[in-house]
A and B are shown apart, each in its own frame.
Chain A
Amino acid sequence: MKFTSYSAEDIPRRKFLELSLKGGIGLVAAPSLLRGLLAGQPAARPELAFEDLNKVIRHALSQGGEFGEVYVEHRISRSILLEEGKFKSAVFGISQGAGVRVISGDKTGYAYTDEITQEKLIRAAEVASFVARGTKSIKPVDVKEEKRPSYITVKVPLQTVADEKRLEIMKRAHDAALAYDARIKMASIDYYDEVRSRIIANSEGLYLSDELPLLFFIVQTLGVGNSTSHMGRERLSRHSGIEMFDELKPEDAARTCARESIVMLEAKDAPAGKMDVVMQNGWGGVLVHEAVGHPLEADNIARETGVFVGKLGKKVANEKFTMVDDGTLPCFRGTTDYDDEGTQMKRNVLIQDGVLVKFMTDILSAKQIKMERTGNGRRESFRNIPIVRMTNTFIDRGKDKPDEILALTKSGIYVQSLSGGSVNPTDGVFNFTCREAYLIEDGKKTTPVKGATLIGNCLDVIQGIDAVGDDLDFGPGICGKGQAAEVAAGQPTVRIRGINVGGSRAR
């Protein structure tokens, strides 16, 4: 078989996989299993694929253990970079593989293979079963296909989009950024899309398969002033077809980014020390993602190391503070139909009116702390074990008016956007870096200030949030916890009393 020409349409994966079967090294898998990857395209005899999976799961639990799982993944990705006026590179990725997991008590065994063959899966099952040797075994339930609701809609599938369309979107952003102001000396446009297909099968009889498209569009612009420079950034992302750009215009993202680059050229030194901070709605929610979200992940609760251990049912925050993790928000970056362990996505209220009501769990930690499975077991790829991760995490909308929150704050810092940050989940100390921030003087946003760090303790901050606006909004991001995960973070405009601001001058 020769590939002489390539249309914009990807080779359908069925064909791709069948082709793979004919040649190559060792790809002699049961085709039925591979066909299972073709979400929405029923295999001729699905029961064969199921039987293959049953065999692997039985093998995984042959030494003992109470939970066995097979995760199969196929991913096609495209990444294009437009920078300094040139399409510098185009990167295409094809990745596939499968992982087998065994849970026995608190122990987890995991092994993966790049080759999706019955032989390799059985070998992975053997390796994964190591941790369960000599323990009591269960009889796995044969897998049965399950249909679930989807929170992701696609109008124009990414597989059908011609590359010219991608380039055009990028060029629109690039040109809009440079046209914004003569001081914008460079624009960098990063386009990424992928289609990830998953099969999840486990010893509880679960069988699920789906296909998740993802778009990630990053604009960066360099503003150069007389005495300083600033790199601005704006990101768009959804689980969606290319129609995302009809709603979220690349030009708008570029102008937002360019505006930040220019405004920050006038930034003065920020003051240092404790002050009140008003955070604008949107991606600023990453502050609670880090400061509160990570400590609410049940793995550190099960280990009894986290700052919220023993606090379930207790008042931990100001009564205006309600925090939610919701993996069902339509097409959001943190949304999937079910997590990478097959648990249904849902809206999980974690802190309700200041009271801690729920931790986020995966299968293992849910068992360990005897709580429900919340749909937060996620993994970067088949090469990773699922761990507790957030999805779309936000401070729920309140009743305060954003302009009043600002007007009633005599002095402090107004944070328009944050870069990102991190937290130590044990002591709850977190930090963030401001991208764009201003002084608040007499209830007004005044001089822009240089990228200061905000630092504080998670419990102090959620006690100190004393105003919550009605303007909930979100932003997309990447969360790192040993593995990368796509997430969204959100919040309405909020005021936090007494955060330590890492400015470079005394007040």
Chain B
Amino acid sequence: MDYKTVAEELVKKCLKKGADAAEVYIENGRNLSIDVRKGEVETVEEAASYGAGLRVFIKGKMAFASSNDLGERALDDALGRAIEFAKITTADPNNVLPDDKGLTEIAGLFDPQIGKIPMERKIELAKKIEQLAMKDPRITKSDGARYGEAEGEVVIANSNGLAKIFRSSACSLGVSVVAEKGDQKSSGGEFCGARSFSDLKPAEVVAAKAARDAYEMLDPKPLKTQKAPVIFHADVGYALLGGILGAVNGERVLQGASFLGNRMGQKIGSELVTLIDDGTPEKGVASEPFDGEGVPTQKKIIIDKGVLKGFMYNTIIAKRAGVQSTGNAVRGGFTSLPGIGPHQFYLAAGQAKLEDIIKATKVGLLVKEVTGYGINPVNGNFSGGASGFWIEDGKIVFPVKGLTIAGTADEMLNGIEMAGDDLDLSRRMATPTFRIRLLQIGGE
């Protein structure tokens, strides 16, 4: 079915039924997931699905309806609901749709081969990664391996004449295992994602990391409550990013609900803090030619060598702030309105090797796992659970579990004094390993 035509026709219909402006967003896709455990297939899930979201504006009032039935009657019904719902919302002159007809050219987002590879080969791959992860004798149980894939198409049309379509594919491979010793249990897991089957990381690499994460944490020792340097391993650096992401959301900024709201152009972190949002890398796992409402994506520097440079906007919030959309409209699928969110959001790599960062640390904590909500985007406070390794005289001496770390965004961003070269851009949110001068650690 030609969904672009369906979308364009539907936009016209919205206008005919009384909308001043309208947008239709259609998603259509297929997904497959395979779970394997103990060498056997545990679950196979497969489905194709689709749906449409209709956004209408009547005299500045906005409403939305979605349906996963693309039959004419069902869509008419959804349209009627949206128009009716637009009567109850508040008019706002900022309620507008984008008109930028451009597309950001990005290669490698769709691999038509994924769907053609036989199911058996995918099952074999999941079995293989599980087997590899179980190879080490310290690994005693499997928590399963998973292969997943999805391919789909997004269509956006609006009454400003915008009509865009983009196809993409993605696949992922992961495994999770348990190491046991006496009464102790320790879990480790790793996954990787890519746009193409052939770009998945080698199963050996992913499996070895899952196993290592599990057995390395056996025999933890208690640690006293103290202040010490804290190294965030590249695996957990994202814990720093979530709160910043919330704080550079243009709507939160306008609402006064961001700790970065009035810091534009100011130095908020050390020289090593360069934070980027990029929707454009070739084959990028978070790349797309246009955002959730059709605005071309871009690469945007949020923090440049410690100086706050930009917030993120979708079309409506940008108009309210008197700026241009940054192409950061995101949707949680066809059932939701576009909010504001990142593409690939990452802290730029530094030059140090992980070993050198450890070597340069007299005493300190190397964090391998962080739990909790990260930095609070409203006030910048941070508190989280942590486990990892204790470092003395530049060497890892023992694993530690059940600790807490706490501080403020200010302390953390300004305290970053070393950054590693180990940035992994196969993740949507990524940082290299970095060391923070001093944080409060809670333990015994």
Q: Which residues of A contact B (CB under 8 A)?
A: 1, 3, 6, 11, 16, 19-20, 22-27, 80, 83-97, 106-115, 124, 127, 130-131, 163-164, 167, 185-186, 222, 224, 228-231, 270, 272-274, 303-305, 307, 383, 385, 419, 421-422, 424, 426-427, 429, 431-433, 450-453, 455-457, 500-507
User: Could you tell me the distance between the alpha carbons of A341 and B72 in the complex, rounded to whole angstroms?
Assistant: 32
**Contact of A273 with B444 at beta-carbon distance under 8 Å, contacts A231-B378, A383-B47 already known:** yes
A113: chain B residues within 8 A (beta carbon): 47-49
* Nearest neighbor of A99 in chain B, beta-carbon distance: B47
The digit string for B301-340, where 1 denotes a CB below 8 A from any CB of A, is 0000000000000000000000000000000000111000
Partner of A97, one of B40, B49, B70, B84: B49
Q: Mark B164-187, 1 if CB is under 8 A from A, else 0.
A: 000000000000001000001111
Q: Which residues of B contact A (CB under 8 A)?
A: 1, 37, 40-51, 62-74, 76-78, 80-82, 84-86, 88-90, 92, 119, 141-144, 178, 184-187, 225-227, 255-257, 259, 335-337, 371-373, 376, 378-379, 381-385, 387, 401-408, 440-444
Q: Are B372 and A433 in contact, CB atoms less than 8 angstroms apart?
A: yes
Q: How far is the CA of A505 from the CA of B226 in the complex (A)?
A: 9
Please state if B256 and A385 are interface contacts (CB–CB under 8 Å): no
A503/B371 in contact, CB under 8 A: no
Q: Is the CB of A431 within 8 A of B71?
A: no
A503 touching B44, Cβ below 8 Å: no
Closest to A94 in B: B67
Q: In the complex the two chains form, is B78's CB within 8 Å of A92's CB?
A: yes
What are 20 A-B contacts with C-beta separation under 8 Å?
Answer: A20-B74, A24-B70, A83-B255, A84-B255, A89-B89, A90-B88, A91-B66, A108-B42, A110-B43, A113-B48, A114-B50, A229-B256, A230-B378, A426-B185, A427-B401, A431-B384, A451-B383, A455-B402, A503-B404, A506-B225
Q: Of the candidates A3, A88, A90, A111, which one forms a contact with B92 in the assembled complex, judged by CB atoms under 8 Å apart? A: A88
Contacts known (A90-B64, A95-B68, A455-B403); A273 close to B80, Cβ less than 8 A: no
Instruction: Assess whether B42 is in contact with A114, with CB atoms less than 8 Å apart.
Output: no
Q: Which residues of A contact B67 (CB under 8 A)?
A: 93-95
**Pairs of residues from A and B, 7 with the lowest C-beta to C-beta distance, nearest first:** A24-B71, A502-B404, A272-B442, A431-B385, A273-B225, A504-B406, A86-B90
Q: Are A88 and B40 in contact (CB under 8 A)?
A: no
Complex contact B43–A424 (CB within 8 A): no
| A458 CB → nearest B CB, Å | 11
Given contacts A88-B89, A130-B119, 19 further A-B pairs with CB under 8 A are A24-B71, A25-B1, A86-B89, A86-B90, A90-B62, A93-B67, A107-B44, A112-B47, A131-B41, A231-B378, A272-B441, A273-B225, A303-B144, A429-B371, A453-B384, A455-B402, A457-B402, A504-B406, A507-B225
With beta carbons under 8 angstroms apart, the residue of B141, B226, B404, B444 that contacts A305 is: B141
Q: Which residues of B contact A427 (CB under 8 A)?
A: 184-187, 401
User: Contact between B442 and A502 (Cβ–Cβ < 8 Å)?
Assistant: yes
Task: Tell me which residues across on chain B come within 8 A of A383, comparing CB atoms.
Answer: 47, 49
Residues of B within 8 A of A25 (CB): 1, 70-72
Smallest beta-carbon distance A314→chain B, Å: 13
Among residues of A, the one whose C-beta sits closest to the C-beta of B141 is A305
A89 touches B64 (CB 8 A): yes
Chain B nearest Cβ from A370, distance in angstroms: 18
Q: Give the residues in chain A near B70, CB-CB below 8 Å.
A: 24-25
Question: Complex Cα distance A379/B242, Å?
Answer: 28
CA distance A90 to B92 in the complex (A): 14
Contact A87 B406 (CB under 8 A): no
**A93-B335, A163-B88, A224-B256 given as contacts; is B383 within 8 A of A450 (CB)?**
yes
Residues in B neighbouring A507, C-beta threshold 8 A: 225
- Chain A residue contacts of B373, Cβ below 8 A: 419, 433
Q: Which residue of A lies closest to B188 (CB)?
A: A426
* Contact indicator A95/B335 (Cβ below 8 Å): yes
Task: Report yes or no: A86 in contact with B185, Cβ–Cβ below 8 A.
Answer: no
Q: How far is the CA of A88 from the CA of B257 in the complex (A)?
A: 17
Q: Assess A453 versus B71: contact at CB under 8 Å? Given A89-B63, A90-B63, A500-B442.
A: no
Q: Cβ of B371: which chain A residues have Cβ within 8 Å of it?
A: 421-422, 429, 431, 453, 455
Inter-chain contacts of B227 with A (CB < 8 A)? 506
Q: Which of A83, A167, A303 interacts with B141 by CB under 8 Å? A: A303
B406 pairs with A92, CB closer than 8 A: no
Closest beta carbon of chain A to B91's beta carbon, Å: 9
Could you tell me the distance between the alpha carbons of A506 and B57 in the complex, rounded to whole angstroms? Answer: 55
Known: A95-B335, A272-B406, A504-B407. A3 touches B80 (CB 8 A): yes
Q: B139 CB to closest chain A CB, in angstroms?
A: 12
Instruction: From the candidates A80, A229, A274, name the one contacting B378 in the complex (CB within 8 A).
Output: A229
Assess whether B44 is in contact with A131, with CB atoms less than 8 Å apart: yes
By beta carbon, the residue of chain A nearest B226 is: A506
Q: A80-B88, A107-B43, A273-B225 are in contact. Are A500 and B403 (CB under 8 A)?
A: yes
A426-B187 CB under 8 A given contacts A20-B71, A23-B72, A453-B385: yes
Given known pairs A452-B383, A503-B440, A506-B227, the reply for A92 and B378 (CB within 8 Å) is: no
